[in-house]
Structures are given as structure tokens and as C-alpha cells.
Structure 1
């Protein structure tokens, strides 16, 4: 079996002079860096957990990872099946449930891709390929909940 390894650096930048003296004494800002990547991602926690709403939080990044992985597999499968995609836009949604002790987990994710293809005769097959993309997606295969799909496919011609 082929194995892929990934490395990432997450650096906390939120020490406001007192470290983690108490829950409100520090901010949640951090940066995410990967070797060979030239742009850092500015992160924080969700505003519900005292984070900066203008930065990406881990939940945003998790949802975007699911959406992007699905999209990349879908585009690959369309190319293999000679379905020409000219546009793809997903407005994914996710639900995370927080428990009494403050932990939580995602319980639902729905991908809502709007796809434009060239040939209207291939819309049915294009719809079916979303199921196949879900089976192939590395991130979806790592989740312990079902990922729903509500694709809307239209044709240019």
C-alpha cells in the first residue's frame, strides 16, 4: 500500500504578554505554514470560543477540506468520463455539536455543488459521479459521519 506523509506547522501568535494565565488572558490567533508554500493561513478559533471572526478557524478548514477533496475527485472523474466541467462552486455547510464538557464533533456535512457542464445529455452521469467522488475522497473516508450531497448540474448547451 502506498503511503503519503504530510507535515504542517501551526504557530500560536496570541500571547498578549501573560501567556495562558486564564481563559480570557490570551487570544486564539495562530498561523499555519507548510514547507514549500509561500502563503500562510491566518487562523483563530470560532468567535464562540473567543476567536477572531476575520480569521479561519479549524472548523472552517475542516469543512473546506471536505469540499475541496470532493471537488478534486469529482473533476478527475468527469475528465475520465469525458464530461467537460466549465464551472464548479460549492457552498458547503456543516453542523458541529458541542457537549456539556465543551468538547464536540461534527455530526453532519452537506456539500451543495453547483456545476456547469457542456453537454446536457451527460447531466445524469454527472450527478452520479458525485457518489463516486464521495467514495474516493480521502477526507470523507476519514470521517465517522455521512456526508450528504445536493448537486445542481446545468449545461451550457
Structure 2
């Protein structure tokens, strides 16, 4: 199953909040409104019919400390959440692919993220990102790839 991925709009607020609370991302649910009005952040939802089953928060202007061979500015995934009921069905892949397509259109060269090894499911997330083409770098905690090496189909 591949969900439809679109940029977040007001119509999806309630569904997104429900997803974040269900997946124990309560802090994110409370701060969602603040994030929407940051023009440098990109927010996407994955939908099945009208249900929000996934969420990706990212930016195309990450200027954090350079490392791992991916100089700033670069795209960065800051949060990726998929409903536990819809995992392993292509939802996260669809979200990442949409983000990659839009990052390429923004003329960004690379994509990075800093997965938290303290969060549950860390090994599974690392396996997922590896399947997308991202690799650990020499910078502590940094995973990344050149956009040209990532699939967007």
C-alpha cells in the first residue's frame, strides 16, 4: 500500500495530532502549530482516504555543523512518524521519496538526519534509512546521502 503524500494543510491538523498522540509524540502534537509557520520547514502527511497515517518534518536549508561530507546547505529530515498500524507498507518510503523530489527541485545536493539511538526502534529505523540509500558517516550520529544517489520513483 502506498499512501498519498501531500504537504500538510489545515484540513489535516486533527488527523495529524491524533497520529502523533497515538505514536507517543505528544510534544510534537502540542508544538505543531508553531512549526507550520516556519517558512524553512517542510511538513508532509501521508493519507489513506482521509486518514493521516504518516508525517515527515524536514528542511531544505539545514545549516547545522557540517560533517560526513555533506556541506550545508542540505536537506534534513527532522521527524518521521508512521502509524504502527501502517508500518512496513510503503508509507515511510513514500514520505521520504516526496521529500527527496522536492529537495532536488530546491537544488539541494544532499540529505542528512540524526536518528536518536535512545529512541525505541532505533535499529529498525537505521535499517529503513539504509534501504533508502543513506549511510552512517564519520560524524557522530549523522546519516546521509547525496540526493543523486537516492531513489525518488
TM (normalized to structure 2)? 0.32
More helix by share: 2
Rg comparison, structure with higher value: 1
Bigger relative CO (Cα 8 Å, ≥ 6 apart): 2
Q: TM-score, normalised by structure 1?
A: 0.31
